[in-house]
Amino acid sequence: MLLELKVNGRLVRREVEPRTLLVDLLRDELALTGTKVGCDTSQCGACTVLLDGHAVKSCNMLALQAQGRELLTVEGLSQRVPEPLREEGLHPLQAAFWNEDGLQCGYCTPGMILAACDLLQDNPDPSDDEVRHGIEGNICRCTGYQPIVLAVQKAAGTLREAGIDPLGRKRGEAGR
Amino acid sequence: MIPAAFRYERPGTLEEALRYLAEPEAKALAGGQSLLPLLRLRMAEPGLLVDIQDIAELAGIQSGAREVTLGALVRHVDLATSGPWRVLREAAEATGDRQVRRLGTIGGAVAHADPAGDLPAALLALGAVVEIVGPGGRREVPIGEFFLGPLMTVLGPDELVAALRLPLPGSGSGSSYRKLRQAASGFALVGVGAMVRLEAGRCVDAGIGVTGVGLAPYAAETAREKLIGTVLSAADVELALAAILEGADVQGDPYASSEYRGKMCRVLAAEAIAGARAEAQGE
């Protein structure tokens, strides 16, 4: 069936089999391999992407369910914030994970960052517990989570100072 | 993991969806958060998936004078923030994780009938009515009669859950949800939803929904009746909760023995009733 959707701002048209999972479209068809497959049972969150701005698990969704919608993967994230806010080309969340050692093997990181991206839209200044609840759908087997929580809070601070949400929208606008 | 092949249709109207669902081996797809894992594990191999996400009349929360109607497509995330009862907000927030709550729907959660689903317990506590549509028109089933067993309901293969109807909270009413999670999966080892309505300090209406304990979520009817007419003292609640497992086939598994489940069911029910009472008293 013909599928049309936007991925990282670009219009994508592809003929897909109905059973194609969204994550397989991203990785195998569009070569966007930043999105990972960790568990394949919708537990680990490594496949998290943003669908119309909100975090979903792309291994737990058919590509066709995203017909006509807008997707953001980790590859497109840094483009959403103004250039001066990027550190070596990285989005503040990516930079904070880098600076705070919020990763070791890095496999869970894209999913973690996009889940955090969703959380920080709702809550620009989350407490430790709120971050942990916000990323409950993402599993990390290396860090013990503490540096991840710290990284999310550091990024939250950077975004608050800049007066924008993680998708680069001015706070108080964009329907939130 | 890749699901077995199927046809996919995405109807824009309810009539069209029902026509597709009348085909053999058809299955409705809402948020897909329970169905997709089943497809990938090939525990379900439908020949046709009917994606109902575009059907406007299945969406949204509508409040009337006394009742509120939750469309089947209301997502957990929306229920968690703007559900009309606290027990619904808490059960929605306890369901799955952030990503799952973005896509999962109340209609799907009810139709899937997971024996450890959180929302069924809240809906049982509130005495919800399930509105079902099918080729023969509409019918209504009290939620207490809807669940038959693990992943089994009274829903026919050509029928859809259209909405859940509940009373609106009034003055003196309160509700809450308590849950003991399985640490890895997050599913309820035990979950209890409670609702009470007080008049002059006395309980005039109550509801208790239990999940994770038996083969299907159930309403604890005897316990509920025993609460009515009391002032919900600790002794009143303890007396009522002696009957909370009545009629339930209490399950044991490697995570929790049936004895432990039964015990925790009474503990969490007491907490849920206390939470509901506190809200009813405006605390």
Partners of B176 in beta bridges: B194
Instruction: Kindly determine whether residue B103 and residue A56, on different chains, have CB atoms separated by under 8 Å.
Output: yes
Residue A63 CB: number of other CB atoms within 10 A? 24
Q: Which two tokens stand for residue B40?
A: 């990938």
Residues in chain A within 8 Å Cβ distance of B112: none
CB-nearest partner of B37 from A42, A54, A119:
A42
pLDDT tens-digit readout, A80-133: 999 999 999 999 999 999 999 999 999 999 999 999 999 999 999 999 999 999
Across the interface, which of A18, A51, A134 has its CB nearest the CB of B98? Answer: A134
Query: Domain for residue B183, yes or no?
Result: yes
**Angle formed by the axes of helices A109-122 and A92-99, to 10°?**
120
Distance from the Cα of B143 to chain A's closest Cα (Å) equals 28
Residue A173 is predicted with a pLDDT of: 57
Interface residue A120 vs chain B (CB under 8 A): no
**A115 chain-B contacts, CB cut-off 8 A:** 98-99
| Boundary residue ending a domain (B167, B198, B218) | B167
Domain harbouring B17, CATH code: 3.30.43
Q: A103 is written with which tokens? A: 């990763």
Reported as a pLDDT band with limits 50, 70 and 90, residue A64 is: very high
| Across B241-267, average pLDDT | 97
Summarize pLDDT for B154-200 with one digit per residue, the tens.
999 999 999 999 999 999 999 999 999 998 889 999 999 999 999 99
User: What confidence tier does B1 reach under pLDDT thresholds 50, 70, 90?
Assistant: low
If one counts every other C-beta atom within 10 angstroms of the C-beta of residue A112, the result is 29
pLDDT band at A175 (very low <50, low <70, confident <90, very high): very low
Mean residue pLDDT across chain A:
96
Exposed, middle or buried by CB within 10 Å (0-12, 13-18, 19+), for B75? buried
**Calpha distance B153→B123 (Å, rounded):** 15
Report CA-CA distances (Å) from A152 to A76, A130, A155, B18, B278.
19, 11, 5, 46, 35
Query: Which residue of A25, A42, A135, A176 is the best one to mutate when testing the B interface, meaning the one whose CB has the most B CBs within 10 A?
Result: A42
- Mean pLDDT in residue range B124-145: 97
Looking at the fold, whether B67 and B156 belong to one and the same domain comes out as: yes
pLDDT at A148 over 80: yes
B36:A1 CB<8 A? no
Indicate whether B131 belongs to any domain: yes
pLDDT of B221-249, one tens digit each? 999 999 999 999 999 999 999 999 998 99
Q: Tokens at residue B15, please?
A: 């009539």
Residue B247 CB: number of other CB atoms within 10 A? 11
Side-chain-side CA neighbours of residue B108 (13 Å): 26
Is B96–A18 a contact, with Cβ atoms under 8 angstroms apart? no
Q: Are residues B159 and B95 in the same domain?
A: yes
Is residue B173 less than 8 Å (CB to CB) from chain A? no
pTM given for the model:
0.96
Helix axes B258-280, B86-93, angle to 10 degrees: 140
Distance from first CA to last CA of chain A, Å, rounded? Answer: 35
- Say what the pLDDT of residue A41 is: 85
**Considering the domain boundaries, does residue B1 fall inside one?**
no
- Percent of chain A residues past pLDDT 90, beyond the cut: 95
The number of domains in chain B is: 3
Q: Do A65 and B3 touch (CB under 8 A)?
A: no
Alpha carbon distance A111, A56 (integer Å): 10
Residue B201 lies in a domain: yes
Task: Indicate if B162 and B64 belong to the same structural domain.
Answer: yes
**Are B163 and B72 in the same domain?**
yes
Domain that holds residue B85: 60-167
CATH number at residue B157: 3.30.465.10
Is residue B213 predicted with pLDDT exceeding 90?
yes
pLDDT tens digit sequence for A12-39: 999 999 999 999 999 999 999 999 999 9
Asked if the C-beta of B32 comes within 8 angstroms of chain A's C-beta atoms, the answer is yes
Within a domain: B272: yes
How confident is the prediction for chain B on average, in pLDDT? 97
C-beta separation of B72 from B56 below 8 A: no
* The pLDDT of residue B184: 87
Question: Which residue is associated with the tokens 């699901």?
Answer: B3
Identify whether B2 is part of a domain: no
Beta strands at B218-219 and B7-9: parallel, antiparallel or unpaired = unpaired
Domains assigned to chain A: 2-76 (3.10.20.30), 81-162 (1.10.150.120)
In contact, A143 and A102? CB cutoff 8 Å: yes
Say if residue B38 is in the same domain as residue B122: no
Domain final residue pick, B111, B144, B167: B167
CB-based contact A55 B99, cutoff 8 Å: yes
Per-residue pLDDT band at B23 (split at 50, 70, 90): very high
Nearest to A18 among B8, B37, B98 (CB): B8
Give the pLDDT score at A176: 43
User: The domain spanning residue B269 has which CATH number?
Assistant: 3.30.390.50
Residues B34 and B129 in one domain: no
**HEC states along A66-116?**
HCCCEEECHHHHHHHCCHHHCECCECHHHHHHHHCCCCCCCCCHHHHHHHH
Across the range A65-93, mean pLDDT stands at 97
Tell me what pLDDT residue A40 has. Answer: 82
